[in-house]
Amino acid sequence: MVRDLLVVTPEGTSLETRINDRDIRHLHAFSDERKQAVMRRIMSRKPDKTEQLNGRNDFEKTLLKLRREGYGLIDLQRHEASFSSVWYRRGVSVLGRRREHVTMLVWEADEPGPQTTVLIWRV
């Protein structure tokens, strides 16, 4: 069910993500008010770090890394030839303050191969 939602097949290439039912449950459990507040904060500033990845498996590798580091899915958007996902976790800074970490993954079906953009914010 979830895989069918996220299969992108432009001209013979396909990407089946590893977004699972646990991720979808976290997405639905994350309140809309909180999600809107997080999205407002990240969209009002530049990312702290941006990476361009061009490998075929880079999206899945990055997604698995985020899950391993304790991130939870809070937003998922499908576009015509791409999709984006936003991942969130709370952390503690060096000085003991609470800090939020937000990562947006954007997967695009480009020629000659897929491209993944990783945008990272610490708010």
CATH, domain range 2-122: 3.30.310
How many CA atoms are closer than 13 Å to the CA of 117, on its beta-carbon side?
10
Give the residue extent of every domain in the chain. 2-122
Using CA atoms, how far apart are residues 121 and 47, in angstroms rounded to an integer?
A: 5
- CA-wise closest residue to 121 among 67, 34, 41: 41
pTM beyond cutoff 0.75: yes
- CA-wise closest residue to 80 among 11, 3, 2, 1: 11
Write out the chain's pLDDT in tens, 123 residues.
334 445 444 444 444 457 889 999 999 999 999 999 999 999 999 999 999 998 888 988 999 999 999 999 999 999 888 889 999 999 877 777 888 999 999 999 887 788 999 999 998
- CA 36 vs CA 13, 43, 78: distances in Å: 33, 10, 18
